[in-house]
Structure 1
Amino acid sequence: MNILAAQLAAHQGVTGTLLVAVGVVIVALLIAAVWWGLRRQDRAPRPPRPEEQPRRPRSGREARERREPADVPRDGPRLTPHQLPGFGNQGTRRARDQAEPPPRRDNGDGAGPSA
């Protein structure tokens, strides 16, 4: 019976040592993660200063202009995005007619024009 007790005691000692070693490894990983995060945060760009913030136009209100999409070729076979100019990321251009569009006739609920 003493041999069985000695084997169990030795086994429990190894288990305890293994648990302490795993705990030390986990703590070391957490410390390394915090250190790495702080280093990464130090390299991040600083927030803009007040003089670097965007300013309102001198008129005091937003500038509005009408934009129209760039034309997609209508002749020939259907084109995939990588065949289009700009690889499908074609921007918009300033519209020739800058007149205000006609007012919308809806009540703003998203259900379309009201009768």
Structure 2
Amino acid sequence: MNLTAYEAAAAGSVAGFVAVLVGGLVVTATLIWAVLLGIKVRKREPRRPRPDEQPRLPASGAVRETREQREPNAITGDDRLTPHDLRPSGGARSGDQRRPRWNRGSSGSFGSGGPGGA
């Protein structure tokens, strides 16, 4: 059976319409499934804390960061130091508490040896 060009185009457009319709239904079903799965997972999670269960500031107020300069640890012996050999807080508190600054003419990077950028 020979189809005219018009009939072939009409048959193609119907097939295209059906393909788009089926694709849309698949996407819609997938989105509905994802929402239902999200609801199911959320029901298994512990409930959110109520306002009266939220953490409170201590009576002394907020805890602030403390910065101080420490003396370097003394290295004794010829053995290589590993992290568990070091004390966690460094050496004793330094008498000079001024913050170290970059030297003029220094690049500021570690071990570059260059004169720095101008």
What TM-score do you get using the length of structure 1 for normalisation? 0.49
More helix by share: 1
More strand by share: 1
What TM-score do you get using the length of structure 2 for normalisation? 0.48
